[in-house]
Amino acid sequence: MIESAVPVRRANPLWQIGKALLLLVAFVILLGLGTWQVERLQWKEGLLADIAARKDAPAAPLSAIETMATSGGDIEYRVVMATGHYLNDKERHFLATYDGDPGYHVYTPLQLNDGRYVFVNRGFVPTEAKEPEKRRQGQLTGEQTVTGLARAKLAERPDGMPDNDLARNIFFWKDLDVMAESVGLPKDKMLPFFIDADKTPNPQGLPIGGVTIIDLPNNHLQYAVTWYGLAVALAAIVAISWWRKRHPDAPSQ
């Protein structure tokens, strides 16, 4: 009786080496991604701490913020104080919500004593109070001093943001040059940043100040745990596979 011979398939050494290299590369990439997220976590925590310190600092004079802005410094969320006269007839309105209610943020040019201007986000008004004549009591006149947070000028339109609707005075992003041009203010007389007014109550009613939202997502720890977890899982799978090949008779569980 002639028994049929079953050929024994031997693993190709080159394939085994290639597979090992691929697994090693994948493991290193997962570790690298986890480490990168840890570094991002440290950076984000430092940024949040810096912003908190800026918000709690005494108000700086407008000239100090201007010097910092023109020299390329980071002025975001620094407390600043400015004095001038509001040009209430040149408001610009930005679509916004407040406590879930739709409305607008009112940006009003503040004319400084030296003849220059800075746009101030005076706060929120509901949709029905968009037009200034519906809230005349809130149109501050005479010399005013505003304290708030400096906000940097945007270099370009954010991705996915629609065009500003100049005809209806509805803005979606802060295009400082267009804002100034749309109300007849010379661009060379505009300070290169904005001021978000603080929560100081408006004795005459609307707008509602203090609407700055500082929302910087900080999910880097979660991402780091995910990437490191995948690296550990990959290492465990490889280890189990290696052990089973060397102990083929061992129970699978």
pLDDT tens by residue, 121-133:
999 999 999 998 8
Q: How far apart are CA 109 and CA 130, in angstroms?
A: 16
How confident is the model at residue 252, as a pLDDT? 58
**Which two structure tokens, joined as six digits, stand for 210?**
């203090």
**Which two structure tokens, joined as six digits, stand for 166?**
């100049």
Full-model pTM: 0.74
How confident is the model at residue 65, as a pLDDT? 93
Q: Which residues of 169-185 are buried (b: 16+ CB within 10 A; e: fewer)?
A: bebeebbbeebbebbeb
Q: Where are the domains of the chain?
A: 20-47+218-246, 78-197
**Which two structure tokens, joined as six digits, stand for 192?**
């290169």
Regions of the chain with pLDDT less than 50: 1
Q: How far apart are CA 143 and CA 83, in angstroms?
A: 7
Q: How far apart are CA 195 and CA 148, in angstroms?
A: 6
If DSSP codes are grouped into helix, strand and coil, which group holds residue 97? strand
How confident is the model at residue 7, as a pLDDT? 56
How confident is the model at residue 250, as a pLDDT? 60
The one-letter amino acid at 70: T
Residue appearing with tokens 């916004």 = 96
How confident is the model at residue 2, as a pLDDT? 52
Of 2.60.40, 2.40.50, 3.10.20, 1.10.287, which CATH number belongs to 78-197?
A: 2.40.50
